[in-house]
Amino acid sequence: MNNLINVLQNTLSNNNEERKNAEQVLFQYSQESSYPTQLFSIIFMENLDMSIRFAAVTSLKNFIKFVWKEEGESRLSEDDRRIIRQQTFDAMFTAPAALAKQLTEALRIISCSDFPDVWTELIDNLAAAMQQYAGDSDRLFSCLTIVDDLCMKYRHELKSNQLWLEIKLVLDKIFMPLTELFVAYSNGTPMDTSRITNLTKMVSIYHSLLSQDLPEVVEDNLKPWINTFTKLFSLPDLQKDDGSLLDALWDEMCIVITVYAQRYEEEIQPYMQAMITLIWDALNASKDTKGSGQFTKSGLLFIATLAVRPHYQDLFVGEGIIEMLLGNVIWPNISYSDEDRDLLEDDPVAFFKHDLDGFDKETVRGAAVELLRALSSRFEEKVVAITTPVINSEVQKYEQNPAANWRSMNAVCSTIVAICSKTETQKYGATNVSSLIKVDDFCTSIILPELRKDQNHLLIVADAFKFIVTFRNQLSPEILNYFFIESVADKYLKPTGAENPILRLYAAFAIERLLTVKIIRDNKASLNQYLLTFSDNLIASLSQPMSCDNCYVLKCLYRCITYLQPETIASKCLAFTEIMQSLIDVALKKTILVDTLAVHFGFETICWFIKKAYILPNGSRYQFYHSYVFETIYNLLKSENRDFVPYALQLACALVEQYGHEIEQGNDRIPTDDYEAFFGNLINSNIADSGTTTNRIVWRKCYCYRKIHYKIYQFKA
Amino acid sequence: MAEEHSQMYKNVGKAEQETSRRRRTETTIQLRREKRGNELNKRRNIDETAEYESEVSDYEKDKNQIQYSFAEARKILTENPSIDDLRNVFTFLRKQLSRPKNVPLDEIVQEGLVQALVQGLNVDDTKVQYESAWALTNVVSGESHHTQAAVNCGATQGLIKTAYIEDDALAEQCFWGVANIIGDCAQLRDHAIECGFLDVFTHYVTKKLSTIKISFVRTLAWVCTNLCRHKQPQISIKHVALILPFIKKFLEFNDPATQQDSCWALSYLSDSNDENLDLIAKADILPVVRNLLGSKIPEMLGPAVRVFGNFTSGNDSHTQSVIALGILPRDIPGIFQSASQKVVKEVLWLLSNVLAGTPAQIQAVIEARLVPHILQYLRRGDFRVQTEAAWGISNLCHSGTREQVYFLATLQPFQYLVPLLNIRHVDFITHILSIIKSVLGAVAALNPEHLDEYKQSFEEAGGIDAVEELQNHENAAIYELCFEIIQTYFSDDDEENVLPGAPPKGDAETEINKPVFNF
């Protein structure tokens, strides 16, 4: 025993050598059958240094993990295991609190594998412990943690007899004690962190127990739970440095009520009105609390869930309800939050991507939008009637003092996008629009001026671009043309401009999306010079931060280039190619981090030139574009970095394919020396054997093209 | 072996096993309270004169009545009582047992008075016999141990014997008493049958049905329900054959309450094995039940729909016998219009079973224009209704031909399906996702040039967002379905790319870092 203590002590040594040795010796100890028993003894040696006892409990946990979870080899008999189980369980409640956490973890591992088949009594023991330790919040927490953990899987496993038998067993043993405990514990004092944490655990267990179906005993005891929920929702919000203490508890309760509302309508019906009132009162109470995000989110989504279900329509038709929801619940949450602002400062590109993802339901703002959409899908007229004056007054408020009241404008934009765009797709933006505003008028009078201001709040510019993108298929051709002809976006693209570089991403995104609109696509000839300006600006900006590491800039560039007129392409093709080659080169050498999609669009651009500019204008270094491309291809194939080998082969395919088209069109003076040399090398290389699937497929394709190419060649000859 | 193997893995093969027809009896473990929609299995005969008066006035009135303690009553009965004594004591006991509240059942059993009540049936005095039968009826309407106590005293034999007496009121009371005994459990049902109950039952149903009072007919129909009610074990097939013609008689009897009870009886018998279903099919009884589907009374519709639902849960030919009656196009649309959610749920269950059938049977549902109704219920039903509707649609996708699934696609199902994806229930979500997958698959196979429109309507319904969110679900089956949907239909950008797409990440990294070419 003393030896083991020494070894444990040495595992804490600062000396690397000594520590490693000790760990090895400890492993040998663990092969002996007395090892766990000895560890238990050490854990309880009161006059021993705490760090050693802690080392003992950690070793015990690791041992248990090894034996139970990783199915490590062990000569433990079933009897030994039974003893360890019981000892761990008892120790969890009797060891000092500092050590109990590791023991809880150890027991969690055991129970996860042994309950219910091998260790059915565990649930009896837990039920008894729950009552015994109701007054000791740390011990109670351990106990609830185990139960919560056992039950968690009921939420995400598919129904099976085995699973339901287990649930029945757990319900039988634990539900009544849990109910009594929950009611009594919520009446206890003080209502502090540990009490609230334990209450949250209890609700979490409750949630798991009713997630497969509504068990009889749960239904019979609906009243005490709901009454206690009522009580807990009515607690004054308690502030703590890092947010609301009640957030997690309220969140969990709100999710439980949501489950009832969606699945057990009949049973919850008598309590529904009261629950709704409670939840929105709680939303009101917590709306100014920083960090109460989880509950705000689940609360908003809860109301959204009800709003779309026919059963609950009555709850919304009352006088002033929708007004209240819009004013008190949605409006305060619909503009950018402080977290959004932090993200914008810390990682602008991440913010941008997040922002484009639309209203992510994972955020409070997204949840507010979800609720707004749900309400307007059911009560459109009313929502529009209530919102219209608010929008007008908020716009006025903003215009009086834009710097101070930018949030008003931000909320207006979010609201309009949420309500007006009833359905949306990536490809088309809004596909179904409500009558709240006249999109054209609003764009002309409010949105476009925002973009033209010399100075503006960053997020308002972002909002304006998003507005245009969202409604691109609803805006009149005049407005869309205006956007290009009046160079609305130019100043945001200029690399030397005063604007925040993040706005370049918004502008690039907006241009790229607008170019997909049919009327613009059909009209691209007349926009040629503007597209060229965009391209030049984008290329010039590539050396700036947030450019070549970002696919949106390259995607926009690619789109602009593909819209250029043939003669423009012919004249600019080599300059553009050089840029792309250097981009690919940088990515290949990993000198700076290039977004993989950005690289993709680099290659796409070269492919476009293969198609459109195969025969180069007089005065070029080479007469045919393939000469430039083979340079690139060899470059990629010879590189140490093998990442782009598939791209190289794809470029070769594109070349051969286009060569065929050129011959078909009578351009039979194209020399084939470069091709033959390349194919010779390709066939003699080991690329088909050693390569990956992609390589092999592409290689085969190349090989086929080569045969075709020879056929054409021979035919012409 | 293959089946065992698949069961070793929690989710493997599960969808296949479950998307077939579902019998009610197959749900072995229940968490939820079982709410059987029908009549009670035991009824007490409450004294109606007392029922409308308060306890006090009841007491006042009983002042005229001689009051005993139970011990006194016992004493009188053991000391060579006169007919008057018997009348008084039995009336007293019956009244005690017929009180609306606080029935002294335990006391009466403990005092051994049940034995006396059974003997009372043999006394040659109709009044005494009647009071005894009534009192016994109420004893056996109690808890199982009360019933058992009376049975141990020979109550079953006594009541059955007395039921032959030519006094309809007394006979009816005897049937009521036996009904309570049979209603207790399968074992007591068989005990009553052993005591010859079916003979006296047959006697009344075949010979006296047209002459007895309507209340008596109802009692007979109800006793029939109790005969058929118990499951473990179910009444033997030979007795089923005997009872079926009686049920048919009751169903044709012009009284809603009688029809209802007998229809429940039939629903119990049909909630069983294929053998029972074959017998019922042969008994030419289904057309009679079909007539009840026109009823607007939910209590009537419930069991009638249940009978057909049970039939559709049998084999293909049982299902076919339901379709052959024409109820899909003729009756079900009407039921959808008027029925309660409870009945709608039963109808959807029925349809989900038909939709698990042969392509021709699925086509019958389609041609009856019922699929749009089912989709509607996905939106506006309560969760139980939504669950049944989802089963139906999912069965269609699973058992239907590609053309049939494509037909579903043309009904714009995404607007109904997508909003359901936020309901926290793993089995349900799995159903919805697999429907979505099948629908897109059918469009891709049969109408690829319009696939984009369907993809767009899916996206417009919020489908992509919902499925992407569910990719984070802890359940592996849900994750895989989401991944497949995204991967197959929504992974490419909306570009007409020249390149087949970015190379798979990490693909090249596994290679040894040496150049392949050495030019």
- DSSP letters, B211-264, are TS-HHHHHHHHHHHHHHHH--TTPPPHHHHHHHHHHHHHHHHSS-HHHHHHHHH
Does B368 score more than 90 pLDDT?
yes
More confident residue, B513 or A431: A431
Q: How far is A287 from chain B (nearest CA, A)?
A: 24
Q: Give the model's pLDDT for residue A76.
A: 78
Q: Considering only residues 653 to 692 of chain A, which have any Cβ-Cβ distance to chain B shorter than 8 Å?
A: 654, 681, 685-687, 690-692
DSSP A417-482: HHHHEEEEETTTEEEEE-SSS-HHHHIIIIIHHHHH-SS--HHHHHHHHHHHHHTTTTS-HHHHHH
Token pair 């969808």 in the structure block, residue: B15
- Look at residue B496 in the predicted model and tell me its pLDDT: 42
Chain-chain contact of A642 with B509 (C-beta, under 8 angstroms): yes
Do the Cβ atoms of B214 and B255 come closer than 8 Å? yes
Q: What is the pLDDT of residue A644?
A: 84
A54 to chain B, any CB pair closer than 8 A? The answer is no
Segments in A65-136 forming alpha helices (H): 78-94, 97-114, 122-132
Per-residue DSSP letter, A615: B
CB-defined contacts A:B, below 8 A: 154
Do A302 and A341 meet the contact criterion of CB atoms below 8 Å apart?
no
A141-159 pLDDT, tens digit each: 999 999 999 999 999 999 9
Over residues A37-59, mean pLDDT:
93
Rg (CA), chain B: 31
Residues of B with CB below 8 A from A155's CB? 424, 426, 474
Q: How confident is the model at residue B101 (pLDDT cuts 50, 70, 90)?
A: confident
CB-neighbour burial class of residue B189 (10 A; exposed 0-12, middle 13-18, buried 19+): buried
| Nearest Cα to Cα of residue A473 among A436, A423, A508 | A423
CB A55 within 8 A of CB A12: yes
For residue range B322-336, what is the model confidence (pLDDT) as tens digits?
999 999 999 999 999
> What sign results for the dihedral spanned by CA atoms A274, A280, A286, A291?
positive
CA–CA dist B410, B366 (Å, integer)? 12
Query: Is B14–A310 a contact, with Cβ atoms under 8 angstroms apart?
Result: no
According to the model, what pLDDT value does residue A679 have? 77
At residue A232, does pLDDT exceed 60?
yes
Close Cβ partners of B379 (under 8 Å, ≥ 6 residues apart): A310, B416, B419
Contact A421, A470 (CB under 8 A): yes
Lowest mean pLDDT among A299-303, A381-385, A426-430, A494-498: A494-498
Distance spanning both ends of chain A, measured CA to CA: 94
Q: Which residue's entry shows tokens 């059911």?
A: A378
DSSP B34: P
Q: Which of residues 211-270 of A touch B (CB under 8 A)?
A: 211-216, 219, 255, 258-259, 262-266
The predicted-structure confidence for B162-192, as pLDDT tens digits, reads as follows 999 999 999 999 999 999 999 999 999 999 9
Best CA proximity match to B423, nearest among A255, A107, A183: A255
Indicate yes or no: CB of B498 within 8 angstroms of CB of A159: no
- Looking at the DSSP assignment, which residues form a beta bridge with residue A430? A424
A13 versus A1: the higher-pLDDT residue is: A13
Average pLDDT over residues A458-465: 92
DSSP A145-197: HHHHHHHGGGGTSPP-HHHHHHHHHHHHHHHHHHHHHHHHHHT-S---HHHHH
Higher pLDDT, A245 or A320: A320
**More confident call, A584 vs A209:** A209
- Look at the alpha carbons of A680, A681, A684, A686 in this order and tell me if their dihedral is positive or negative: negative
Q: How far is CA A163 from CA A113, A622, B426, in A?
A: 14, 72, 13
Q: Which of A569-578, A699-708, B188-197 has the lowest mean pLDDT?
A: A699-708
How far does A305 lie from chain B, in Å, by closest CA?
A: 9
Best of B517, B518, B519 to disrupt the A interface by mutation (most A CBs within 10 Å)? Answer: B517
Give residues with Cβ within 8 angstroms of B331, minimum separation 6. B290, B293, B294
Total Cβ atoms within 10 A of residue A370: 25
Nearest CA in chain A to B515: A638
Could you tell me which of B133, B203, B128 has the C-alpha nearest to residue B164?
A: B203
Which range has highest mean pLDDT (A8-17, A238-247, A689-698)?
Answer: A8-17
Contact, B399 vs B356, CB < 8 A? yes
Residue A507 pLDDT level (bands cut at 50, 70, 90): very high
The answer to whether residue A174 scores a pLDDT higher than 90 is yes
Burial annotation B310-345 (CB, 10 A radius, 16+ → b, else e): bbbbbeeebbbbbbebebbeebbeebbeebebbbbb
DSSP annotation of A527 reads G
- Asked if A592 and A542 touch (Cβ cutoff 8 Å), the reply is no
Chain A nearest C-alpha distance from B179 (Å): 28
Domain locations in chain B? 2-213+347-513
* Interface contact A158-B419, CB threshold 8 A: no
Peptide bond into A545 cis (omega under 30): no
Comparing alpha-carbon positions, the chain A residue that sits nearest to B17 is A160
Q: Given A158, A637, A645, which is nearest B430 (Cβ)?
A: A158
Highest mean pLDDT among A671-680, A689-698, B217-226: B217-226
- Give me the interface pTM, i.e. the ipTM: 0.80
A238 DSSP assignment:
P
Q: Which residue has the higher pLDDT, A672 or A38?
A: A38
Contacts with B, A 127-146, CB within 8 Å: none
Dist. CA B460–CA B462, nearest whole Å: 5
Q: What is the mean pLDDT of residues A599-618?
A: 88
Give B499's contacts in chain A (Cβ within 8 Å).
600, 603-604, 607, 647, 650, 654
Q: Indicate the length of chain A as a whole number.
A: 717
Q: Which of A426, A611, A634 sits opposite B519 (nearest CB)?
A: A634
pLDDT 10s digits, A438-460: 889 999 999 999 999 888 888 99
Q: How confident is the model at residue B311 (pLDDT cuts 50, 70, 90)?
A: very high
Residues of B in contact with A607 (CB under 8 A): 498-499
Cα angle: A708, vertex A714, A715; to 5 degrees? 90
Q: How far apart are CA A340 and CA A613, in angstroms?
A: 45
Q: Determine the length of chain B.
A: 519
Contact A690 B516 (CB under 8 A): yes
Q: What mean pLDDT comes out for the span A98-102?
A: 91
Q: pTM here?
A: 0.82
- Beta-carbon separation of B498 and A654 below 8 A: yes
Q: To 10 degrees, the CA torsion angle through A107, A113, A117, A123?
A: 30
Lowest-confidence region among A373-382, A570-579, B50-59:
B50-59
Distance CA B501, CA B499 (A): 5
**Domain B2-213+347-513 CATH class label:** mainly alpha
Place of tokens 């070769």: A652
Has residue B293 got a pLDDT over 60?
yes
Q: How much is the pLDDT for A706?
A: 62
Chain B residue whose CA is closest to A161: B29
Tokens of B219: 């009692």
Determine the pLDDT at residue A686: 65
The residue of chain B with its CA nearest to that of A360 is B465
DSSP-derived letter for residue B136 is H
Mutate which: B32, B491, B510, vs A, most A CBs within 10 A: B32
User: How far, in Å, CA of A677 to CA of A681, rounded?
Assistant: 6
Helices B214-229 and B256-270, axial angle in degrees (round to 10):
10
CB–CB of B31 and A428 under 8 A? no
Interface of A with B in 367-386 (CB under 8 A): none
Judge: B382–A265 Cβ closer than 8 Å, yes or no.
Answer: yes
The answer to whether residues B153 and B161 touch, using CB atoms and an 8 Å cutoff, is no
On the question of pLDDT at B7 being above 90, the answer is no
8 Å CB contact of B456 and A431: yes
- From chain B, the residues in CB contact with A597 under 8 A are 502
Q: Which of A364-378, B41-55, B390-404 has the lowest mean pLDDT?
A: B41-55
The model's pLDDT over A301-327, given as tens digits with 9 standing for 90+, comes to 999 999 988 888 888 888 888 998 898
Q: Is the pLDDT assigned to residue A126 strictly greater than 90?
A: yes
Buried b (16+ CB within 10 A) or exposed e, A326-356: beebbbbbbbbbeebeebbeeebbebbebbe
